[in-house]
Amino acid sequence: MKTIINMRASHRQAGLSMIELLVALAIGSFLIIGAVTLQSQSRRNFDVNEQQARLQENARYVLAVIEPELQLAGVYGYSQDPNAVMWDNDGALTPPNQLRMTSVAAPGLPASLMTCGDNFAVDVLATVTATNGTFDLECDAEGGGAVADTDTLMLRHSAPGRVDADASRLQVFSERVSAQTNTRLFVSDDAPDALEDDQREVRNMVVQAYYISTDSDGRAGVPALRAKMLGSDAGAPAFIDQEILRGVEDLQVQFGVDPGDDLDGDGTPDDPGEDGMADFVNGDAAQYVNAGDALLDSAQVVSVRIWVRVRGDQPESGFTDNRHYEYADTDFTPNDGFRRVVMSRTIYLRNSRQQ
């Protein structure tokens, strides 16, 4: 009997009282709440980091698209001198100083090439140009129109790689040994001269105008980077509007210039050639200026600096972007729920002489 009583007492001592049970439940609840909160916060941080990484990747993609095009600007077949390129209209040659957008339309130029302005496709002297805060081409900006206060970047060069003569495209014929005298733009199924691999070749002409549209394809209210690109349509050379990337809401461009030396001390860069261009330049970017700056009329353009601002597709609940973005000539505070990233790159030009 005594043994049985001791066993019962031992069982009573091994149990938990109500207070102990409640304390254990409270501690367990706190631990569970803490674990859930930590997991939720970790998930949120992961989502934020993932979105930021995606925005940075998109910005890098935009710069990776534009950079190689800028580096080729001013290359026309075997020639790297825009002054050597002429428009060939069935053997009648028009020099580049008469192919400016400010000149009358080049004779024989197809109407499909003039939709964005007379001579826009053949203004070979304007290898890299931009407009500051506006889209002023004669062709319409697609995607609901261009976003105000964003720049438009335009560039011209020939595409790498030889092709056959094709009347549905604007092309460049170039001869290696006579690049300064025998480089021509043409539209024909027949090249202006005999072809020879690695000596006389035809290449497609590249003309692009990058801008920011209000809407992207199928997503109203989401801005996008677009480009007017020289291509072919219905068997004729034509400009095609193409979306490059959704979510890009700003493009800004500045030019790095070498204004030239003032050797005679008269307060202006020396121009003994009297062609309006500074003659004593060394290729160093002394300052960066916006498109349209008067300095661009006489200075050597050495480099191009580009800024892109990319935002998410959807606003994020509980987040407000109230950062102050200040770059180029942009001063912007959004105060909305979209996450953003700004990225810039300076690209040095191969053919930097401004004309």
Helix (H) or strand (E) holding 104: none
Question: Could you identify the residue written with the tokens 């700004």?
Answer: 342
CA distance 65 to 57: 12
| Strand locations in the chain (E) | 85-89, 92-94, 128-131, 152-158, 171-175, 183-186, 200-213, 224-233, 236-246, 248-258, 287-290, 300-311, 325-327, 330-332, 340-348
Question: Could you identify the residue written with the tokens 């480009």?
Answer: 227
pLDDT band at 245 (very low <50, low <70, confident <90, very high): very high
CB 187 within 8 A of CB 251: no
Q: C-alpha distances in angstroms, 194 versus 189, 201, 202, 301, 353? A: 13, 9, 10, 36, 31
pLDDT of residue 52: 85
For the chain, the structural domain boundaries read 49-348
CB 212 within 8 A of CB 248: yes
pLDDT band at 181 (very low <50, low <70, confident <90, very high): confident
- Model confidence, pTM: 0.84
- SS3 category, 26: helix
Q: C-alpha distances in angstroms, 106 versus 4, 205, 292? A: 117, 16, 25
pLDDT band at 274 (very low <50, low <70, confident <90, very high): very low
Lowest mean pLDDT among 119-128, 190-199, 209-218, 282-291: 282-291
Q: Structure tokens of 195?
A: 């072809």
Predicted confidence (pLDDT) per residue in 251-267, tens digit: 999 999 887 766 666 66
pLDDT higher at 244 or 23: 244
The residue type of 46 is F
Lowest mean pLDDT among 40-44, 187-191, 305-309: 40-44
CA distance 141 to 226: 9
pLDDT band at 1 (very low <50, low <70, confident <90, very high): very low
- The mean pLDDT of 68-74, rounded to a whole number, is 93
CB 79 within 8 A of CB 85: yes
pLDDT band at 54 (very low <50, low <70, confident <90, very high): very high
